[in-house]
Amino acid sequence: MSASILVVEDEPAIQELISYNLELAGHQVRRADSAEGAMAMVRAALPDMVVLDWMLPGMSGIDFVRWLRADRRTQAVPLIMLTARAEEQDKLSGLESGADDYLTKPFSPRELVARVKAVLRRRAPQATDDAIEVAGLLLDPASHRVLGNGTPITLGPTEFRMLHFLMTHAERVHTRAQLLDQVWGDHVFVEERTVDVHIRRLRKALQHTGHDHLIKTVRSAGYRFSENA
């Protein structure tokens, strides 16, 4: 499993401990030591998950969660909050404000890695290694293979990530901007028409086994992965 995880923690030793263990678990970690710094990083590239300390200098962790949840682009980013206080009220406010899970310091790195995995599986299946199959099309992130009715399909890295995202978020329309965020992790420096180029390549690769029809164009909206017409 390899997810891009933004760690927001102002205490250097804890930031290091968290980052080290998440990297050891195969994740790509970016770090911020304030909510303001984290906002700039999220604006530049959407992470698969945020691990956020509650007590930060300047803007608080909880205000950062509210900011994240208020914007359509960032509202679905999975988030785990960390706190030094075990009070029940803190836990409730954290979950109410939009955290997906909650850990009280001190916690074991193993516990954190397990929670990260559980939240990703629930909230961001495209960031996990679970194989997925739809209508005879099988995508296995662990072996980086795609099979159409048992026949290997060769995809470029971008097409592979795009198909993975579409298959794990089927039956929903995704705009080009959303696909840029989710597949490229960056919506600033890539033009939206780039999405169309890669969709075309993906469909072409899927044509050989007749799976190209699974990717629907939704006029003036974007793309949808669907078994239905």
In the complex, the residues that contact Ca ion under the rule CB under 5 A are: 10, 53, 55
Closest to Ca ion by CB, 10 vs 196, is 10
Question: Residue 53 CB, nearest distance to Ca ion (Å)?
Answer: 4
Residue 108: is it exposed, middle or buried by C-beta count within 10 angstroms (0-12/13-18/19+)? exposed
The residue nearest Ca ion at its CB is: 55
Closest-CA residue to 50 (of 127, 105, 164, 142)? 127
Question: Residue 109 CB, nearest distance to Ca ion (Å)?
Answer: 17
How far, in Å, are 17, 35, 128 from residue 57 at the CA level? 20, 8, 32
Closest to Ca ion by CB, 32 vs 180, is 32
- Whether 81 and 70 have beta carbons less than 8 Å apart is answered as no
Question: Residue 104 CB, nearest distance to Ca ion (Å)?
Answer: 13
Closest to Ca ion by CB, 10 vs 90, is 10
Question: Residue 7 CB, nearest distance to Ca ion (Å)?
Answer: 12
Closest to Ca ion by CB, 10 vs 140, is 10
Closest to Ca ion by CB, 12 vs 156, is 12
Closest-CA residue to 103 (of 115, 92, 93)? 115
Rounded to 5 degrees, what are φ and ψ at 24?
-60, -35
Q: Which residues, at least 6 apart from 13, have a Cβ–Cβ distance to it below 8 Å?
A: none
Question: Residue 162 CB, nearest distance to Ca ion (Å)?
Answer: 37
